Copies of this chain bind each other. A is one copy, B any other.
Amino acid sequence: MAVDAATPRLDEQVCFALHAASRAVTALYRPLLDDLGLTYPQYLVMLDLWEHGDRGVKELGKALSLDSGTLSPLLKRLEKAGLVRRERRGDDERSVRVTLTGDGDRLRDKAVPLPGLVGDAMGLDAAQLDELRVTLNRLTDSVTRYRTGLGS
């Protein structure tokens, strides 16, 4: 074999395929989310709030794997847009509770059709999408465990 046989090739890297796919999907969402006045990460936060209604910053961070350095300014922008309220909890002044406003709650209706549209554009059938999601979640779990110490 040639000496450079081991040189990593860009188009063979799963990591690059992952990176590219993620950016492509975000780019597909962008014009749709523009109509709702949201960015993609803001949309993920709203999805969580629509589902759970009432969250601490810490809880959001855990659900989305984001830290306060990302969430704090993002939540301030959502607050400025009138979609959420942020208030210190009475029982623990350290923690901030994030709540949907009326506008934030109503925005949900406009968001309902998005996943269907995006799913269609992916060019995979329901079974393939399901399998992909399962595989990606396994990969994320595995990588995260690996990364956070435990070797397996």
Contact = CB atoms under 8 A, between A and B. Distances in A.
Interface of A: 6-10, 12-29, 40, 44, 47-48, 50-51, 63-65, 108, 111-112, 114-115, 118-119, 121-124, 128-129, 132-133, 135-144, 146-147
B123 A21 contact: no
B18 A22 contact: yes
Contacts of A121: 142-143, 146-147
B44 A122 contact: no
Q: How many copies does the complex hold?
A: 2
Contacts of A29: 15
Given A8-B114, A112-B8, A121-B146, A24 B138 contact: no
A138 B108 CA distance: 30
Given A65-B20, A121-B146, A121-B147, A14 B129 contact: yes
